[in-house]
């Protein structure tokens, strides 16, 4: 059974940084499209970043490009989202997702492409 567990959320002030982690069990981060999504109160869940774990391909929403970095450690079966220069608009519950297939491509923001999801971790950015 695949299980993804996020950690690292919290409350920070504008301009601060957080690193989210996603630990996988029953699954390995190899040659797969994995990603991070977020959902703010009253809004739909949106794709934040994705990567093909085979190496060399990254995708970011325009709102986070240059501030967030997605990475993974295949040996530790972990995925990360480094978030810098946080803004109040980044406040949301963040979810890791996996299993979208061998290549992310243009569908990396499509939730239904990912069969495996974590329970989410809250990030709150105050002004």
Tens-digit pLDDT profile for residues 35-61: 999 999 999 999 999 999 887 889 999
Tokens in use for 77? 């079966």
What are the counts of helices (DSSP H) followed by strands (DSSP E) for the chain?
A: 0, 11
Beta carbons of 117 and 96 less than 8 angstroms apart = yes
The pair of structure tokens assigned to 68 is 């967030």
With bands split at pLDDT 50, 70 and 90, how would you rate the model's confidence at 9? very high
Question: How do residues 72-81 score in pLDDT, each as one tens digit?
Answer: 998 899 999 9
- Biggest distance spanned by C-alpha atoms of the chain: 40
CA-to-CA distance for 37 and 35, rounded, in angstroms? 7
Contact between 35 and 58 under an 8 Å Cβ cutoff? The reply is: no
CA torsion 105→111→115→117, rounded to 10°? 120
Confidence band, pLDDT 50/70/90 cuts, at residue 28: confident
């Amino acid at each position: 059974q695949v299980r993804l567990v996020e950690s690292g959320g919290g409350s920070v002030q504008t301009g601060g940084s957080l690193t989210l982690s996603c630990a996988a069990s029953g699954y390995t981060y190899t040659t797969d499209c994995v990603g991070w999504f977020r959902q703010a109160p009253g809004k739909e869940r949106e794709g934040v970043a994705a990567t093909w774990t085979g190496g060399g391909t990254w995708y970011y929403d325009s709102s986070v490009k240059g501030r967030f970095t997605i990475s993974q450690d295949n040996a530790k079966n972990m995925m990360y989202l480094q978030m810098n220069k946080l803004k109040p608009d980044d406040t949301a519950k963040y979810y890791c997702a996996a299993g979208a297939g061998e290549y992310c491509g243009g569908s990396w923001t499509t939730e239904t492409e990912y069969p495996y999801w974590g329970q989410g971790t809250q990030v709150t950015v105050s002004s």
